[in-house]
A = this chain, B = another copy of it.
Amino acid sequence: MGKLISLAEAVARYVQDGDTVYAAGFTHLIPFAVGHEIIRQRRRNLTLARATPDLVYDQMVAAGCAKKVIFSYMGNPGVGSLRLVRAAVEAGELEWEEYSHFSMISRLTAGATGLPFMPMNPTAAGDLERANPSYRTVTDPYTGGQVVVVPPLKPDVAIVHVQRADEEGNAHIWGIIGEQKEAAFASQRVILSAEEIVPAEVIRSDPNRTLIPGFIVDAVCHVPFCSHPSYTQGYYDRDNAFYLEWDEISKDRQRAQAYLDEWVFGVKDRQEYWEKLGPQVHRRLKVKRRLSTPVDYGSY
């Protein structure tokens, strides 16, 4: 059977209760549609790992999917606090494990490259290193100094949204590429969603653009507008208005629940969600073309 399946099927098959999930994307390409599907399928006891939890983890925590978050910046990017994750942490209802951006991404890189740890230069900000026992040190065999290291992060499942992929999951990504590649390689399973499923020839016309090879991908899902309210470079804009609106919604658990009822449980899938947003939002998020200058690979 092919890898190209519906998102509902991909989540049913590859996301299990208790999994460590890494939904990748630094502001860009955040796979909201997959988070919503996980909420709809009522997964429980997930460990949600992500450098920047963003709204998608706020929503998953509000829906009761999570027992733990692993993060390095727990905010609503450009707006402020991530209220629901924060409230759950402050109330002692949610476990957490915390890093700096670089140590978080170093963990993922160690996982993606099969290394036992990644070294980092010292930052001297000892409080976090003391609070989180995953930070260790080794002795530099060249100088005798102490070197901070972090262990690999190997999620059970990575969720990666991309601009275009072929049916096998060979994926072109551009714009902010964050930790998409590292998350995919670090994880045991990979769910890939794409704005467009394209013929392999399109992928093969620009192999340097392929950050994720199909053979590490388990499921390929065609999910246009997957990232909203985040964005997909070249496809639609970031819905900054919603990021500001969520700051209001998330002040009140009831309102957040009502949001989930309406926008997650109340729709069948991303297509229904997108239609429900309506033409005015579609227009507001529409983007004019700005094409890259092609490069010549040559016919050899």
Q: Are B298 and A288 in contact (CB under 8 A)?
A: yes
Q: Are A206 and B136 in contact (CB under 8 A)?
A: no
Q: Would you call A142 an interface residue if the criterion is a C-beta within 8 Å of the partner chain's C-beta atoms?
A: yes
Q: Would you call A123 an interface residue if the criterion is a C-beta within 8 Å of the partner chain's C-beta atoms?
A: no
Q: Report A120-158 CB contacts with B as 1/0, cut-off 8 Å.
A: 110000000000000011111111010101010000000
Chain A residues touching B, majority SS: loop
Q: Are B298 and A206 in contact (CB under 8 A)?
A: no
Stretch at the interface among A50-58, A111-119, A215-223: A111-119
Q: Are A145 and B116 in contact (CB under 8 A)?
A: yes
Within the complex, the shortest CB–CB distance from A153 to chain B, in Å, comes to 13
A residues near B, CB below 8 A? 114-121, 136-143, 145, 147, 149, 151, 163, 172, 174-175, 177, 202, 205-206, 208-209, 233-235, 237, 287-300
Q: Are B235 and A298 in contact (CB under 8 A)?
A: yes
Q: Give the docked Cα–Cα distance between A119 and B141 (Å).
A: 12
Q: Give the docked Cα–Cα distance between A208 and B28 (Å).
A: 14
Q: Are A297 and B292 in contact (CB under 8 A)?
A: yes
Whether A234 contacts B136 in the complex (CB less than 8 A), given A117-B119, A208-B177, A287-B300, comes out as no
Whether A141 contacts B147 in the complex (CB less than 8 A), given A174-B297, A292-B205, comes out as no
Q: Are B293 and A298 in contact (CB under 8 A)?
A: no
Q: Are B291 and A205 in contact (CB under 8 A)?
A: yes
A-B contact pairs, 22 of them (CB 8 A): A114-B121, A116-B119, A116-B121, A116-B143, A116-B147, A117-B147, A136-B142, A138-B141, A177-B208, A208-B209, A234-B297, A234-B298, A287-B298, A287-B300, A288-B299, A289-B299, A290-B297, A291-B296, A292-B294, A292-B296, A293-B294, A294-B294
Q: Give the docked Cα–Cα distance between A116 and B120 (Å).
A: 8
Q: Are A119 and B119 in contact (CB under 8 A)?
A: yes
Q: Are A299 and B295 in contact (CB under 8 A)?
A: no
Q: Are A140 and B117 in contact (CB under 8 A)?
A: yes
A143 surroundings in chain B (CB, below 8 A): 116
**A117, A137, A288: most-surrounded residue (chain B CB, <10 A):** A117
